[in-house]
Each structure stands twice: as structure tokens, then as C-alpha cells.
Amino acid sequence: MKFLSYVIVLATTLSSLTTAAAATDVTLEQEVDAVIEDVIRWRRDFHQHAELSNREFRTAKVIAKHLRKLGLEVTTGVAKTGVVGLLKGGAPGPVLALRADMDGLPVVERTGLPYASKQRSEYEGREVGVMHACGHDNHMAILMGAAEILAGMREELPGAVKFIFQPAEEGAPKGEEGGAKLMVAEGVLKNPDVDAVIGLHISQGGEVGTASYRSLGFMASAQRFDIKIQGKQTHGARPWAGVDPIVVGAQIVNALQTIVSRQIDITQHPAVVTVGSFAAGVRNNIVPETATLTGTIRTFDAAVRRSIHEKIRSIAQQTATAMGAVATVEIDPGVPVTFNDAALTKQMVPTLERVYGEGAVFESPRVTGAEDFSFYQEQVPGFFFFIGARPPELSAAEAIPNHSPFFYVDENALAPAVRAMTQLAIDYLNAGAR
């Protein structure tokens, strides 16, 4: 009889908890509905006024004004243009950081959207268009929406939330510092000490209304390489009188393709070596003196990364020497692998499933894109996930990649993303306060 009473009490308790959770979900959904029009407006404003890495001056002012309006403790000028807002809850508890990146890319937008960017700027000595071709406009607007909702329930929250709006995720201009690495160096994870960090990324890789993640190694390590080829200038009609750095560079580009295709066991170690720019010459009938190649390296394994660096140096220098030129190679330290903490991932995935629904949250394969979110994850446990923004009428094969001048998102992806970031924060803080 006592056992039966226990079962009845347990069933009643579980029913009450389920009802309470359902009520909380409904309340949060209402809060998201109340802020979503502003989120879309912020996102379009950021999109129309895209700014390059370490130059996000207007963007920072808009964000800081919003966070101050919410009553947060706001710090500006972190890592040059970064903004950090601190929300203190009504009871002691853990400290969670939520991060969004701020910078656009040197891309001329070709979407034809009514709020398309027409911004122009200078990048590495060249005039360029500026576009949020990687979706950072969405990330900022989503986090601003989550901040507004969480600020409205601050007395119910145990602990604190740091809202990190980070510049230069795409990489600081050559010769400058920036991004997550500089934010960490300037103490963004301190005062108060952050216990965990969560970030997201939008893409057309998933259909709108879906999310994806991967425990442990998720996104690749990335480094930039620069190869400068010193030749000998001459008249284009007498190429034998000089050393053509364009031809040398072409040979180096072709040889670099053999590193991954012929020298790396890609069944075990995915890797990418891409030449992204080749600059040389000013006139059709002059063999120039120099040529410059720049590119990117993507790996998931430290030993493979070191091996690729050595092969790039060897191929560039020996090819140039064989053709009478000189090649110098610079490879920057880049960013580490985006590595999701296994325990934190296990804790947070049920929240994602609660927000997006059964069957809408997927474990992702490894991604050769890179994220400097990895610098935060080197310091504290981190969880990074993707949200789908591909319109339902497009197939996966028709998805437009990030960094394309045609990249756009289905704005129906924004509401569940705001709810996800908000719910992840609530669930993490409540779990840590028990």
C-alpha cells in the first residue's frame, strides 16, 4: 500500500514538473514573439551597414546602446571594437558567456535584397564592397533578442550571463591583432570568471527550423599562408631576359594541390589547402618583379597541420629555386580546432531538442570551416552549434554557401535561434545552481 502511495505521489510530481516545463515553454515562446520584430529589424540594419574586421564602429554603438537600455553593465572597446554586457541574476550561481561575432567580409553583395549592403571600405590597400556574407548580422540580432528576454527575468536567474559581441572573427587585417584571441587576452572571460561559453552559427547547410552540433572536434583549425615570389622584371617580348614570377607562382599553385590529394591520408585526416588570391603585374607587356599568393590551410590534427606547413614551405621554396626565383613563406598561427566539451554538449543537446523539436536536431559531420570561438574553448568548456536557414523550397544541393555574394537566410530561422540561446542560458544556470 505504501509503495502504491509512493507511485501516486511520484506520478503527480512528474506531472507537475511536466506541466511547469510546458508553461515555461509557452511563456518563453511569447517572449520571443514579442521581440522577434525587433530582432529582424536589427538584423536588417546590421546587414545594410556591414563593417569590416576591427572597423565595427557603428555596429558597436548600436549594440552598446541596446545593452545599456536593458540595464546591463556594459564595457566597450574590448579587443578594439568589442562590446561586453554583464547581466547579474537575482541569486548566486554560475557565469555563462553567450557570444556573437560582429564583422562583415570584403564582398560585393549580389542578393538584390531591399536592405542589401552598399557599403564600401578599404581592405589590404584595395577598395572593396562590404557584406555580411557569413551571417554575423543574424548572430548579433539573435543575441540582442536573447539579452532582452533574459534581462526581463533577471531576478529569477541564478548566477550571471556575459553577452560577448566580438569583432574580427574573420581575422584581423594583416599586421593587426583582433578577434577572440585578443578578447581572451584582455580578460573577457574574467571578472567574473566564466564557467562555460556558448555560440552559434547560421548557414544554409541545414533547412530552416533545424540545428546541428558535434561533440569534441567540430570545426577545423585554420591558418593563413602568404608566399612572396621574387623574380626579375623584363619586357614581355623578351621573357628570357628576366625571371617570370607569374609562371613560378602558377607552378607553385599546381604543386600545392598535390599535398592533400597525394600526400595526406584523407581517410583518416581531412585537410584542405586553398590558394585564395594571386596578385602580380600591372601591365600586359611587362613581366613583373614579384608575385604574391595567399591561401588557407584547414586541418583537424596537429601532426598533419605541421606536416602540411613543412610541405608548403618546401614546395614553394624549391620550385622557385629551380626556376631561378626566390620564394619566402609566412604561415600565421591561425585558430585552433573548434572543440565542443563532451559533458557540456551532452547537457545542452536536450535543450536544443526541446526548442527545435524531435528529429530536427542532428549530429553534424566535421566542418572544414573554422571559428575563432575555439580560443574561448581553450580556456573554458564551450558548446558551439549551427542553425539552419535554408528556405524550404531549396534542396541541399542548391544551398548557397557562406562567403558567397549571393548568401542570404530565411528569417524564419531567427525566432527559434533566439529561443535556443535564451533557453540554453536558463537551463545551464538553473542546473549549475542546484
pLDDT in tens, the chain (434 residues): 444 454 444 444 444 434 445 547 889 999 999 999 999 999 999 999 999 999 999 999 999 999 999 999 999 999 999 999 999 999 999 999 999 999 999 999 999 999 999 999 999 899 999 999 999 999 999 999 999 999 999 999 999 999 999 999 999 998 999 999 999 999 999 999 999 999 999 999 999 999 999 999 999 999 999 999 999 999 999 999 999 999 999 999 999 999 999 999 999 999 999 999 999 999 999 999 999 999 999 999 999 999 999 999 999 999 999 999 999 999 999 999 999 999 999 999 999 999 999 899 999 999 999 999 999 999 999 999 999 999 999 999 999 999 999 999 999 999 999 999 999 999 999 998 76
What domain count does the chain have?
2
Whether 166 and 236 map to the same domain: the answer is no
Domain of residue 327, CATH code: 3.30.70.360
Whether 98 and 138 map to the same domain: the answer is: yes
The residue out of 331, 366, 382 marking a domain boundary is 331
Beta carbons of 204 and 394 less than 8 angstroms apart: yes
**206, 78: one domain:** yes
Q: Is 431 exposed, middle or buried (0-12, 13-18, 19+ CB in 10 A)?
A: middle
- Assigned C-alpha cell, 203: 548557414
Number of helices (H), then strands (E), belonging to the chain: the values are 9, 18
231 shares its domain with 145: no
CB 410 within 8 A of CB 391: yes
C-alpha grid cell, residue 366: 566535421
Residues 367, 309 within the same domain: no
Cα 35 to Cα 146: distance, rounded to the nearest angstrom = 9
The answer to whether residue 17 is domain-embedded is no
194 and 94 housed in the same domain: yes
Q: Are residues 93 and 137 in the same domain?
A: yes
Tell which residue, 198, 180, 158, 216, has the closest CA to residue 420: 198
Q: Which of 273, 306, 331 is the last residue of a domain?
A: 331
Are 242 and 366 in a shared domain? no
3 state DSSP class of 306: helix
Q: What is the pLDDT of residue 13?
A: 41
**Are 171 and 211 found together in one domain?**
yes
Q: Which of 315, 331, 347 is the last residue of a domain?
A: 331
Count of other CB atoms within 10 angstroms of residue 433: 14
31 shares its domain with 143: yes
Burial bucket for residue 307 (CB in 10 Å: 0-12, 13-18, 19+)? middle
Domain contains 9? no
Task: Establish if 16 belongs to a structural domain.
Answer: no
Residue 68 belongs to a domain = yes
DSSP H helical ranges for 49-85? 57-69
Residues 217 and 49: their CA atoms lie apart, in Å, by 34
401 is a domain residue: yes
Task: Find the domain containing 316 and state its range.
Answer: 221-331
| pLDDT mean across residues, the chain | 94
Q: Output the domain CATH number for residue 402.
A: 3.40.630.10
Same domain, yes or no: 256 and 141:
no
Active-site residues: which are they? 103, 169
Residue 289: per-residue pLDDT: 98
Domain identity same for 157 and 270:
no
